[in-house]
């Protein structure tokens, strides 16, 4: 193909002469590339917005909860309650080596937390230090509960964001301060600003986390544990361990292993899989709608170029008569098509980026918003430009071959 100043001048003259048609077809390409990129960026931002609710929560976690039996077993009637004990922790660790973390959780709701004249209702959570592997804390001040706190039964606590803002309205580092929660005074050793909305037995914002032995003794839980939280080792799917966990518990606590209602297993792996499947379908829909819109625009470009070639039959015939080669005609028509798609598509890319930037500012302007990125990636934009070039060539092929088929004699006869 010949790429010189005259060729580009002819292309510009052609686009100007057919400016109304060029604008019409260019809008189709503009709208198509805008829709595709805006949906891609919007889908990416929406995914980040939803997954931010799971921030800090292990993806391979299961929570075991004892429930009432729904089947009779070995002479015992249905509807019988049972409780897990600390022995079950060691039993799981010994009999299921695929588990990385096995840790209990004790909770006491509706406790009054007091600091001076400031009061707020709190949820007391008793945990071991390894509970941080289940719900990863995001410490604003201080530290989390450690093994020494648990071993020595220290009266220390980590408070959530809402508890912190209510008890310490003046802000600042509260570590070292004493607060009263229920009947006990605790020293604050940390403030957890976890942003995720997924939690176990209450929001981290409203929790006062203390060493588990304290909760066990203060609130008289005895040897019973309310919940047992487990995580699998890397590469282990928790769904493959559910039956074994249920069989172990059924054997030790005398209920039917097939009675799934007797032991509730909340598997976060399934929740994350639902989100992944949702966005897989959404991405397919985005590409289907976006590419369909672009294809409609490209078909419009090809049709307009066909009309343009027909109207320029005499001009093309004269050029052929004075020495223009078929390659010259081919290059001009295809370059016209590429120019039209590139100009319209470039405006579509810029408009999509700017609108996504505005959407990003609006979403991130919310109080306590988790930063979300609605922008498309650099290579996505490059791929869009390459796609526009390719589609411009495809749109110009049929009109170009029709123009190449015009003979000077036929053009003069039409004139």
Q: Are residues 140 and 282 in the same domain?
A: no
DSSP string, 320-364: HHTT--HHHHHHHHHHHHHHHHHHHHHHHHHHHHHHHHHHHHHHH
C-alpha dist (Å) from residue 240 to 57, 99, 118, 273: 20, 11, 48, 15
DSSP state of 73: B
Q: Are residues 277 and 397 in the same domain?
A: yes
Q: 3-state class of 165 per DSSP? A: helix
Q: Are residues 87 and 165 in the same domain?
A: yes
Number of separate domains in the chain: 2
pLDDT at 49: 76
DSSP state of 376: P
Q: What percent of the chain has pLDDT over 70?
A: 81
Answer yes or no: is pLDDT of 163 > 50.
Answer: yes
Last residue of a domain, one of 253, 286, 316: 253
Helix axes 268-311, 378-404, angle to 10 degrees: 30
| 61 found inside a domain | no
Q: Which residue has the higher pLDDT, 225 or 295?
A: 225
| 64 found inside a domain | no
| 261 found inside a domain | no
Contact yes or no for 302/395 (Cβ under 8 A): yes
Q: Are residues 278 and 402 in the same domain?
A: yes
Q: Which residue has the higher pLDDT, 85 or 398?
A: 85
Contact yes or no for 107/181 (Cβ under 8 A): no
Q: Are residues 233 and 291 in the same domain?
A: no
Answer yes or no: is pLDDT of 259 > 50.
Answer: yes
Q: Are residues 244 and 96 in the same domain?
A: yes
**C-alpha Rg value of the chain to the nearest Å:** 34
Q: Are residues 246 and 113 in the same domain?
A: yes
For residue 371, name the pLDDT band (cuts at 50, 70, 90).
confident
**Alpha-carbon distance 259 to 261, whole Å?**
5
Answer yes or no: is pLDDT of 411 > 60.
Answer: no
| 192 found inside a domain | yes
| 73 found inside a domain | no
Q: Are residues 234 and 319 in the same domain?
A: no
As beta bridge partners, residue 101 has: 231
Answer yes or no: is pLDDT of 9 > 80.
Answer: no
For residue 191, name the pLDDT band (cuts at 50, 70, 90).
very high
Range of the domain at 105: 83-253
C-alpha dist (Å) from residue 288 to 152, 282, 336, 349: 61, 10, 27, 18
DSSP state of 113: E
pLDDT at 217: 92
Q: Which residue has the higher pLDDT, 178 or 30?
A: 178
For residue 320, name the pLDDT band (cuts at 50, 70, 90).
low
Last residue of a domain, one of 253, 288, 306: 253
CA 302 to chain centre: 38
Helices (H), 3-129: 5-17, 19-51, 86-95
Q: Are residues 248 and 364 in the same domain?
A: no
Average pLDDT over every residue of 191-216: 84
pLDDT at 311: 66
**Alpha-carbon distance 186 to 114, whole Å?**
10
Answer yes or no: is pLDDT of 167 > 50.
Answer: yes
**Alpha-carbon distance 315 to 333, whole Å?**
13
| 268 found inside a domain | no
| 379 found inside a domain | yes
**Alpha-carbon distance 40 to 98, whole Å?**
38
Average pLDDT over every residue of 89-95: 93
Q: Which residue has the higher pLDDT, 307 or 142?
A: 142
Q: Are residues 226 and 324 in the same domain?
A: no
Answer yes or no: is pLDDT of 11 > 50.
Answer: no
pLDDT at 142: 95
For residue 1, name the pLDDT band (cuts at 50, 70, 90).
very low
Q: 3-state class of 101 per DSSP? A: strand
Q: Which residue has the higher pLDDT, 370 or 210?
A: 210
Q: Which of 15-24, 92-101, 275-284 has the lowest mean pLDDT?
A: 15-24
Q: Are residues 199 and 314 in the same domain?
A: no
As beta bridge partners, residue 144 has: none
| 407 found inside a domain | yes
Most confident option among 122-131, 262-271, 289-298, 375-384? 122-131
pLDDT at 390: 81
DSSP state of 367: T
**Alpha-carbon distance 280 to 274, whole Å?**
10
**Alpha-carbon distance 251 to 88, whole Å?**
11
Most confident option among 72-81, 153-162, 325-334? 153-162
For residue 356, name the pLDDT band (cuts at 50, 70, 90).
confident
For residue 94, name the pLDDT band (cuts at 50, 70, 90).
very high
pLDDT at 2: 45
Q: Are residues 120 and 186 in the same domain?
A: yes
Answer yes or no: is pLDDT of 23 > 70.
Answer: no
């Amino acid at each position: 193909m010949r790429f010189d100043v005259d060729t580009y001048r002819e292309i510009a003259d052609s686009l100007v002469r057919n400016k109304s048609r060029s604008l019409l077809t260019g809008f189709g390409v503009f709208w198509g590339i805008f829709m595709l990129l805006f949906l891609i960026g919007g889908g990416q931002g929406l995914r980040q917005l939803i997954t931010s609710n799971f921030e800090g929560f292990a993806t391979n976690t299961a929570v075991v909860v004892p429930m009432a039996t729904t089947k009779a077993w070995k002479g015992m009637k249905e509807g019988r309650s049972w409780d897990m004990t600390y022995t079950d922790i060691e039993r799981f660790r010994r009999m299921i080596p695929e588990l990385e973390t096995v840790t209990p959780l004790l909770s006491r709701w509706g406790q009054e937390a007091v600091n001076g004249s400031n009061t707020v209702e709190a949820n007391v959570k008793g945990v071991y230090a390894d509970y941080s592997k289940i719900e990863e804390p995001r410490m604003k001040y201080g530290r989390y509960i450690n093994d020494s706190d648990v071993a020595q039964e220290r009266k220390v606590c980590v408070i959530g964001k809402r508890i912190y803002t209510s008890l310490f309205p003046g802000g600042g580092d509260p570590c070292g301060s004493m607060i009263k929660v229920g009947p006990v005074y605790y020293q604050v050793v940390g403030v957890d600003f976890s942003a995720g909305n997924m939690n176990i037995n209450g929001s981290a914002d409203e929790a006062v986390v203390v060493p588990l032995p304290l909760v066990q003794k203060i609130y008289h839980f005895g040897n019973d544990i309310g919940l047992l939280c487990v995580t699998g080792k890397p590469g282990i799917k928790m769904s493959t361990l559910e039956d074994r966990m249920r069989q172990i518990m059924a054997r030790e606590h005398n209920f039917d292993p097939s009675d799934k209602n007797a032991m509730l297993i909340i598997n976060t792996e399934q929740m994350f899989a639902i989100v992944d499947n949702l966005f897989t379908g959404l991405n397919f829909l985005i590409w289907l709608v976006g590419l369909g819109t672009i294809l409609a625009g490209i078909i419009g470009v090809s049709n307009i170029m066909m009309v343009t070639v027909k109207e320029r039959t005499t001009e093309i015939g004269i050029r052929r008569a004075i020495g223009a080669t078929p390659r010259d005609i081919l290059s001009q028509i295809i370059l016209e098509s590429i120019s039209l798609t590139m100009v319209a598509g470039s405006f579509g890319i810029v408009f999509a980026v700017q609108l996504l930037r505005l959407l990003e500012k609006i979403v991130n302007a919310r109080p306590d918003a988790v930063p979300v990125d609605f922008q498309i990636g650099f290579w996505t934009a490059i791929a869009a430009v390459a796609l526009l070039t390719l589609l411009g060539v495809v749109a110009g092929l049929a009109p170009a071959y029709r123009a190449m088929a015009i003979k000077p004699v036929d053009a003069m006869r039409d004139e």
